């Protein structure tokens, strides 16, 4: 499930497939896999393994692990007890140490085997490419992967013990372990190369705790915004543990310990840190408000009384914090983190007086003060579009259909014009004299979706005899073209007063003129029922050859 590493390797392969091997089939398959990996990163919840520090002390161990400390990466959902049991099976004679402090020389030089094991926390080392806030689902991978620094914190008390407030003298002794290589690597464990220790004051510890609490609320709210199907119970426990005075220790203990005149007088150098702690307390209110709003949307009727009590406690807490530490607005980054995809909306506008659609306005995000970026009644500019610039999907589909219709009609017209030329050639070969050819009539005919042949070319089949019917000439004063509808093509046929398709109106031969050459087997196939209708220009079989 280390899809980030798979994507990095895939990019190297893609460079080879695209620019070296030109294997586009493999490239397309690889890009599909990468797309699935990116989707998995955002949608799939991966388990976070624990890391354990293991020290092997005593002369009874092999030299390559003797008196050395290693950091192990545990398996998925593996607890420390299970890991220790698995470790001790390899060294059945070893004794488990019960303290986490470094052992003395007496243990290191003894002939026995002593194993020290405790859980360490990996320290996030975020890559430099994440220069702006990103989704927690993306960052969560780097919290437990590609890590080289690990820390273990141990509480230490200094000074007199305060029974009323234990946070006042609670110091943290933090040990930092740096491994030889980043984990995970080719192995699931690496040797610790350097160790150093730092001390955290009680006030610094309070600041860290408040920062972690705010981040935890923010991350859980973001998870519920990205996936509404998450269970509500973890969110309920987190919010209730902060806002309910019955279970809340929280920053009330910090107020007693650090926000007093006595502490300020004894530690004047901590003034900036106290102001930072107050600021973190004030910022917690907007995060809690967002979490309680989400909780109210998802809560069931059985938990409605619980939610109402939590809302009442939050109102009291909010009034107190805003009165003492000021009001903080909702972070804009919280709104940006609600979804990784841009929230753009597309609107299509149509004026009442016209049926032509206007421009399609795409609005991404408005500025923080909610002022529209363009003039207009509600922030949009409506401009009429040319037909070729329509961005509506349905309009594009209509234009495409019209283009296909035009292509089909052009093909039909080309075939009809070819047949017309063959007709004219055959009719002129019969030496029919033309008497008058002055007046020319233009007749408009609208071709439907599948244009039919003009009536002058219709072959009517009679019983026993096939005649070629010619439509009579019509005076120009009586011609009335049918109404024209949009998106249809006009076909023009030329008629003369005394001649139509090469035949004089005074002559009506008893024998129908010969048929034209067949362009394909499908042309006039319904007329070839007898061999008498075969054109003189086509050669009949030798045993049925007749004179024209």
What is the tens place of the pLDDT at every residue in 462-488? 444 444 444 444 444 444 455 555 554
Q: Tokens 């001649």 appear where? A: 499
Q: Is the pLDDT of residue 308 over 80?
A: yes
Q: What is the mean pLDDT of residues 325-354?
A: 47
Q: Write out the two tokens for 484.
A: 């024209």
Q: Is the pLDDT of residue 361 over 90?
A: no
| Vertex 238 angle, CA 234 and 239, to 5° | 120
d(CA 167, CA 251): 10
The residue that leads in pLDDT, 361 or 217, is 217
The residue that leads in pLDDT, 125 or 517, is 125
Highest mean pLDDT: which of 235-249, 302-316, 332-346, 401-415?
A: 302-316
The two beta strands, 499-500 and 440-446, are: unpaired
The percentage of the chain sitting over the pLDDT mark of 70, rounded to a whole number, equals 59
Strands (E), 318-415: 345-350, 357-363
The residue that leads in pLDDT, 142 or 432, is 142
pLDDT of residue 70: 97
Q: Is the pLDDT of residue 380 over 50?
A: no
Among the listed residues 58, 56, 89, the one whose alpha carbon sits nearest the alpha carbon of residue 72: 56
Q: What is the 3-state secondary structure (H, E, C) of 66-132?
A: CCEEEEEECCCCCCHHHHHHHHHCCCCCCEECCCCCCCCHHHHCCCCCEEEEEEEEECCCCCCCCCC
Q: What is the mean pLDDT of residues 499-525?
A: 53
Query: Is the preceding peptide bond at 305 cis, omega within 30 degrees of 0?
Result: no
pLDDT of residue 547: 53
Whether the CB-CB separation of 433 and 479 falls below 8 Å is answered with no
pLDDT of residue 341: 41
Q: What is the mean pLDDT of residues 386-392?
A: 43
What pTM was estimated for this model as a whole?
0.57
The residue that leads in pLDDT, 256 or 19, is 19
Q: Is the pLDDT of residue 366 over 50?
A: no
Backbone conformation region of residue 383, classed left if phi is above 0, alpha if psi is from -120 to 50, else beta = beta
Model confidence pLDDT, tens digit, residues 170-228: 899 999 999 999 999 999 999 999 999 999 999 999 999 999 999 999 888 888 888 88
Q: Write out the two tokens for 49.
A: 């393994």
Whether the CB-CB separation of 342 and 364 falls below 8 Å is answered with yes
Q: How confident is the model at residue 49 (pLDDT cuts 50, 70, 90)?
A: very high
Highest mean pLDDT: which of 7-16, 370-379, 381-390?
A: 7-16
Q: How confident is the model at residue 403 (pLDDT cuts 50, 70, 90)?
A: low
Burial class of residue 366 (count of CB atoms within 10 Å of its CB; 0-12, 13-18, 19+): exposed
pLDDT of residue 357: 40
Q: What is the dihedral of CA 334, 337, 342, 343, to 10 degrees?
A: -40
The contacts of residue 357 (CB under 8 Å, 6+ apart) are: 348, 349, 350, 385, 390, 392, 395
pLDDT of residue 372: 40
d(CA 403, CA 409): 10
d(CA 279, CA 327): 10
| Vertex 350 angle, CA 346 and 353, to 5° | 170
Q: What is the mean pLDDT of residues 522-534?
A: 47
pLDDT of residue 223: 84
Q: What is the mean pLDDT of residues 347-352?
A: 35
C-beta atoms surrounding 449 within 10 Å: 8
d(CA 75, CA 49): 6
d(CA 337, CA 342): 10
pLDDT of residue 169: 82
Q: How confident is the model at residue 126 (pLDDT cuts 50, 70, 90)?
A: confident
Q: What is the CATH number of domain 207-325?
A: 1.20.58.740
Q: How confident is the model at residue 460 (pLDDT cuts 50, 70, 90)?
A: very low
pLDDT of residue 93: 92
Q: How confident is the model at residue 525 (pLDDT cuts 50, 70, 90)?
A: very low
pLDDT of residue 240: 87
Report the Cα 494 to chain-centroid distance in Å.
60
Q: What is the average pLDDT value for the chain, to the nearest integer?
A: 73
Whether the CB-CB separation of 106 and 88 falls below 8 Å is answered with no
Long-range contacts of 143-148 (CB under 8 A, 24+ apart): 143/48, 144/48, 144/49, 144/51, 145/2, 145/4, 145/183, 145/184, 146/182, 147/51, 147/122, 147/123, 147/182, 147/183, 148/178, 148/179, 148/181, 148/182, 148/183
Q: How confident is the model at residue 255 (pLDDT cuts 50, 70, 90)?
A: confident
Q: Is the pLDDT of residue 5 over 50?
A: yes
Domain boundaries, the chain: 3-43, 51-200, 207-325
User: What is the helix, strand, coil percentage profile of the chain, to 5?
Assistant: 40, 20, 40
d(CA 230, CA 243): 22
Q: What is the mean pLDDT of residues 444-450?
A: 54
Q: What is the mean pLDDT of residues 508-522?
A: 60
Q: Identify the weakest region by mean pLDDT among 228-237, 250-259, 355-364.
A: 355-364
Q: What is the mean pLDDT of residues 534-548?
A: 47
Q: Is the pLDDT of residue 247 over 70?
A: no
C-beta atoms surrounding 109 within 10 Å: 11
pLDDT of residue 219: 87
pLDDT of residue 483: 53
The string of DSSP codes covering 444-478 is EEE--SSPPPPGGG-EEEPSS-EEE--PPP--GGG
Q: Is the pLDDT of residue 154 over 80?
A: yes
| Vertex 195 angle, CA 76 and 172, to 5° | 80
Q: Identify the weakest region by mean pLDDT among 78-82, 304-308, 515-519.
A: 515-519
Torsional sign, CA 358, 364, 370, 371: negative
The residue that leads in pLDDT, 165 or 105, is 105
Task: Tell me the three state secondary structure of residue 179.
Answer: strand
Q: What is the mean pLDDT of residues 38-64?
A: 94
Q: Is the pLDDT of residue 38 over 90?
A: yes
Task: Tell me the three state secondary structure of residue 150.
Answer: strand
The residue that leads in pLDDT, 295 or 538, is 295
Strand partners, 175: 152, 197
The two beta strands, 490-496 and 440-446, are: antiparallel
Q: Is the pLDDT of residue 163 over 70?
A: no
Q: Identify the weakest region by mean pLDDT among 8-12, 27-31, 503-507.
A: 503-507
d(CA 148, CA 163): 39
């Amino acid at each position: 499930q280390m899809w980030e590493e798979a994507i990095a390797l895939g990019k190297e392969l893609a460079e080879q497939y695209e620019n070296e091997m030109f294997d586009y089939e493999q490239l397309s398959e690889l890009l599909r896999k990468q797309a699935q990996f990116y989707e998995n990163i955002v949608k799939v919840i991966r388990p976070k393994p624990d890391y354990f520090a293991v020290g092997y002390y005593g002369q009874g161990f092999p030299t390559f692990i003797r008196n050395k400390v290693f950091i192990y990466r545990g398996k998925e959902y593996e607890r420390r007890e299970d890991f220790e049991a698995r470790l001790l099976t390899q060294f059945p004679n070893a004794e488990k140490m019960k303290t986490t402090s470094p052992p003395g020389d007496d243990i290191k030089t003894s002939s026995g085997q002593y194993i020290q094991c405790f859980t360490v926390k990996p320290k996030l080392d975020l890559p430099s490419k994440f220069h702006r806030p990103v989704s927690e689902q993306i960052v969560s991978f780097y919290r437990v992967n590609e890590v080289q620094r690990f820390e273990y914190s141990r509480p230490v008390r200094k000074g007199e013990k305060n029974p009323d407030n234990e946070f006042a003298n609670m110091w943290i002794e933090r040990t930092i372990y740096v491994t030889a290589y980043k984990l995970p690597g080719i192995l699931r464990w690496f040797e610790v190369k350097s160790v150093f220790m730092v001390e955290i004051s009680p006030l610094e510890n309070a600041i860290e705790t408040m920062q972690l609490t705010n981040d935890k609320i923010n991350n859980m709210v973001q998870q519920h915004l990205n996936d509404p199907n998450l269970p509500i119970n973890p969110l309920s426990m987190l919010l209730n543990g902060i806002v309910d005075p019955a279970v809340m220790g929280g920053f009330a203990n910090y107020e007693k310990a650090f926000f007093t005149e006595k502490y300020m007088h004894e530690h004047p150098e901590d003034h900036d840190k106290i102001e930072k702690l107050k600021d973190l307390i004030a910022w917690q209110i907007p995060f809690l408000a967002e979490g309680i709003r989400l909780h109210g949307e998802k809560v069931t009727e059985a938990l409605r009384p619980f939610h109402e009590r939590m809302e009442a406690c939050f109102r009291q807490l909010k009034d107190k914090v805003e009165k003492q530490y000021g009001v903080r607005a909702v972070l804009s980054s919280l709104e940006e983190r609600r979804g990784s995809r841009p929230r753009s909306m597309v609107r299509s506008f149509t004026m009442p007086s016209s049926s032509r659609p206007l421009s399609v306005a795409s609005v991404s995000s408005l500025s923080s003060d909610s002022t529209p970026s363009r003039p207009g009644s509600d922030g949009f500019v409506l401009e009429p579009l040319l037909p070729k610039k329509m961005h509506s999907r349905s309009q594009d589909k209509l234009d495409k259909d019209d283009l296909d219709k035009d292509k089909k009609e052009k093909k039909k017209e080309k075939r009809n014009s070819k047949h017309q030329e063959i007709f004219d050639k055959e009719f002129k070969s019969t030496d029919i004299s033309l008497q008058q050819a002055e007046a020319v009539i233009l007749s408009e005919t609208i071709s439907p979706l599948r244009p039919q042949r003009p009536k002058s070319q219709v072959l009517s089949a009679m019983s026993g005899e096939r005649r070629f019917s010619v439509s009579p000439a019509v005076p120009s004063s009586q011609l009335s073209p049918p109404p024209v509808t949009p998106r249809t093509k006009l076909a023009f046929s030329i008629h003369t007063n005394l001649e139509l398709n090469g035949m004089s109106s005074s002559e009506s031969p008893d024998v129908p003129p010969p048929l034209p050459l067949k362009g394909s087997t499908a042309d006039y196939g319904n007329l070839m029922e007898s061999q008498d209708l075969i054109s003189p220009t086509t050669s009949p079989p030798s045993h049925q050859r007749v004179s024209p």
